[in-house]
């Protein structure tokens, strides 16, 4: 069965023009088939944090079997790349991923700067043509998954997080991707029905202010009949609620709002959750909810709760909880004290931290704009660098130390100490090295740039991080989204919490084997021209 990419726009033509001009120059120079190795990695963790969640691999694995130019795309390139020889376009017709090997971290892996997320081995021109599509498929997913994980952390693992960003996302693909990767990062559900269908993500939703304001009077409810939870007795629910209203004493609330709540409860008696801030949250919205909720309770149903979408969310949530608790005691419905309070309204990491400081009573956060747009940092900044050509290691030097690449084929291992179940560091090792970390054996790890910074570790556990996912064809399956989400959560629980601190998080160590350290610095000295001083 053929595998299709989720978005049909993802083709070899989803690339930057300079990839094609380089491919032409490679072809013209007969370099197109040189054996090459490229690393895809990032240099700095996003959002001022100390971790990144690797995401997007499943879409990469859908791209590779479909990585072939169509005749329509070839015709377009002929018109655009005027002056290129016809033989080049014949070459492009032959391009596919059958000669490519791709190694990657498992999707959902907590990853760190300089560790290759993906290593691509194959003919130079084809590997080059993969650069932009791969970066496009990895950058935003990894950024979004990391953003969602951070929001989950600041909210607390007992809180439920809902992704509400479809209407604010950057186009349809932004919306679908945001729903998908926020779920991987730890969110619990989405309002995006398309994402729910495609990926099997749980969906949640209530109603909008327009639903409330669309009701004018109780006569708008044309079908007021509701059976009790056992389906035996039926009542005129409008009359039943108005009778209950007298019992509760909430007789001076907004009637049209109450009518809308009755209309919604008639449709969803087993999951009644009302948006309560259309008119006045504490004087009308919450009392009207309690009236309808109590009427449902008397019929054997269990109401769900309310949503706040404006105002001082900490204060309103605490007052709402107080009203729930007092009402439950007064009317012998103790579980009302634990009814769900949902909050939305342009929430982000900082606003959730402020809510925590004010001891809010919110159970569920609905987060949209600042999640899907990654307001705090709109791009991750993954790069794709050549590290080997025809078996010869290559290095990119820079006056900025952070931009110096680590040459050659390498693989990463995650090392665990004896006194903790948490990993201590990651170490990069040459793939052809005979000196690789082993359980219980002393292993020297070195800082990539500080010669004096050396660590000897006898690991209690060694986890290889890179796996061959593609070798001319699919070599390893990417787990389903639910398994990836669980993998993310398990790693977060396993890590030292200091790496996730809100202020001054502890950097996670990324090191080199002693062999790779000397390999890097010997090549650095070889390629760096000496400074002449007159």
Q: What are the tens digits of pLDDT across the range 378-409?
A: 999 999 999 999 999 998 887 777 788 899 99
* Helix orientation angle between 71-80 and 86-94, rounded to the nearest 10 degrees: 150
Cα within 13 Å of Cα(328), Cβ side: 15
- Which helix or strand (DSSP H or E) is residue 174 part of? helix 171-185
Whether the predicted pLDDT of 421 surpasses 90:
no
Question: What is the predicted pLDDT for the residue at 514?
Answer: 95
**Domains: count for the chain:** 2
Q: Per-residue pLDDT for 23 more than 90?
A: yes
| CATH number of the CATH domain containing 69 | 3.20.140.10
- Domain C-terminal end among 303, 328, 362: 362
466: pLDDT confidence band, cut at 50, 70 and 90? very high
pLDDT of residue 529: 82
Residue 343 has pLDDT above 70, yes or no: yes
Q: Establish if 298 belongs to a structural domain.
A: yes
What tokens appear for 121 in the block? 């081995």
Residue 1 in this model has a pLDDT that exceeds 60: no
The pLDDT tens digits for 150-196 are: 999 999 999 999 999 999 999 999 999 999 999 999 999 999 999 99
End-of-domain residue from the set 317, 334, 362: 362
DSSP state letters, 333-400 = -GGGGG-EEEE-SS--HHHHHHHHHTT----EEEE-HHHHTTTT-S----EEEEEEETTEE-----SS
Do 284 and 388 share a domain, yes or no? no
The verdict on 351 and 387 lying in the same domain is no
CATH number reported for the structural domain that contains residue 349 in this entry: 3.20.20
**Helix or strand run (H / E) with residue 183:** helix 171-185
Q: Which of 103, 60, 107 is nearest to 479 (CA)?
A: 107
Asked whether residue 170 is domain-assigned, the answer is: no
Q: What is the mean pLDDT of residues 221-248?
A: 97
% of the chain with per-residue pLDDT over 70: 99
Q: Do the domain assignments include residue 280?
A: yes
Same domain (yes/no): 112, 70? yes
Q: What is the pLDDT of residue 450?
A: 82
In this predicted structure, what is the pLDDT of residue 238?
A: 98
Residue 264 forms part of a structural domain: yes
This prediction has a pTM of 0.95
Can you give 26-84 as a three-state secondary structure string?
Answer: HHHCCCCCCEEEEEEECCCCHHHCCCEECCCHHHHHHHHHHCCCCHHHHHHHHHHCCCC
Which range marks the domain in which residue 55 is found?
17-146+378-527
Residues 486-533 pLDDT 10s: 999 999 999 999 999 988 999 999 999 999 999 998 888 888 888 888
CA distances from 112 to 31, 45, 46, 49 (A): 33, 7, 10, 10
Model confidence at 2, in pLDDT bands (50, 70, 90)? Answer: low
- Is there a single domain that holds both residue 285 and residue 406? no
Q: Which of 362, 392, 425 is the last residue of a domain?
A: 362
């Amino acid at each position: 069965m053929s595998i299709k990419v989720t978005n049909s726009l993802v083709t070899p033509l989803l690339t930057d023009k300079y990839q094609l001009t380089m491919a032409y120059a490679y072809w013209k120079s007969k370099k197109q088939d040189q054996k090459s190795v490229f690393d895809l990695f990032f240099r700095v963790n996003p959002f001022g944090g100390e971790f990144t969640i690797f995401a997007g691999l499943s879409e990469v694995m859908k791209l590779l079997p479909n990585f072939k130019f169509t005749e329509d795309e070839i015709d377009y390139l002929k018109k655009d790349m005027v002056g290129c020889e016809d033989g080049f376009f014949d070459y492009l017709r032959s391009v596919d991923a059958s000669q490519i090997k791709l190694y990657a971290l498992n999707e959902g892996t907590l990853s760190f700067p300089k560790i290759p997320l993906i290593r691509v081995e194959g003919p130079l021109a084809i590997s080059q043509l993969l650069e932009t599509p791969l970066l496009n498929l990895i950058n935003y997913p990894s950024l979004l998954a990391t953003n969602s994980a951070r929001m989950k952390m600041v909210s607390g693992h007992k809180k439920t997080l809902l992704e509400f960003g479809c209407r604010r996302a950057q186009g349809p693909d932004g919306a679908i991707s945001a729903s998908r990767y926020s779920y991987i990062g730890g969110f619990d559900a989405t309002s995006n029905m398309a994402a729910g269908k495609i990926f099997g993500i749980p969906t949640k939703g209530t109603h909008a202010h327009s639903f409330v304001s669309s009701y004018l009077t109780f006569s708008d409810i044309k079908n007021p009949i509701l059976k009790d939870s056992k389906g035996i007795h039926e009542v005129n629910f409008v009359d039943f609620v108005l009778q209950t209203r007298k019992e509760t004493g909430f007789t001076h609330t907004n009637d049209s709002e109450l009518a809308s709540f009755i209309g919604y409860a008639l449709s969803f008696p087993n999951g009644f959750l009302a948006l309560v801030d259309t008119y006045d949250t504490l004087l009308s919205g919450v009392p009207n909810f309690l009236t309808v909720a109590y009427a449902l309770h008397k019929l054997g149903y269990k109401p769900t709760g309310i949503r706040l979408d404006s105002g001082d969310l900490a204060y309103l949530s605490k007052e709402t909880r107080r009203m729930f608790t007092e009402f439950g005691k007064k009317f012998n419905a103790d579980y009302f004290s634990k009814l769900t309070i949902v909050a939305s309204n342009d929430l982000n990491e900082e606003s959730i931290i402020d809510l925590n400081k004010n001891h809010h009573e919110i159970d569920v956060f609905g987060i949209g704009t600042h999640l899907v747009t990654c307001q705090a940092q709109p791009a991750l900044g993954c790069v794709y660098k050549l590290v080997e050509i025809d078996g010869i290691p290559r290095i990119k030097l820079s006056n900025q130390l952070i931009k110096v690449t680590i040459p050659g084929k390498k693989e990463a291992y995650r090392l665990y100490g004896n006194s903790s179940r948490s990993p201590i560091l990651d170490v990069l090792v040459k793939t052809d090295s005979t000196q690789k970390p082993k359980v219980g054996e002393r292993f020297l790890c070195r800082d990539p740039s500080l010669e004096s910074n050396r660590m000897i570790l006898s690991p209690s556990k060694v986890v290889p991080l890179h796996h061959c996912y593609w070798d001319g064809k699919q070599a390893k399956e990417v787990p389903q989204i639910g398994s990836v989400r669980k993998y993310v959560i398990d790693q977060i629980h396993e890590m030292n919490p200091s790496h996730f601190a809100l202020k001054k998080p502890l950097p996670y160590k990324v090191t080199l084997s002693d062999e790779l350290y000397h390999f890097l610095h010997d090549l650095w000295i070889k390629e760096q021209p000496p400074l002449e001083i007159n």
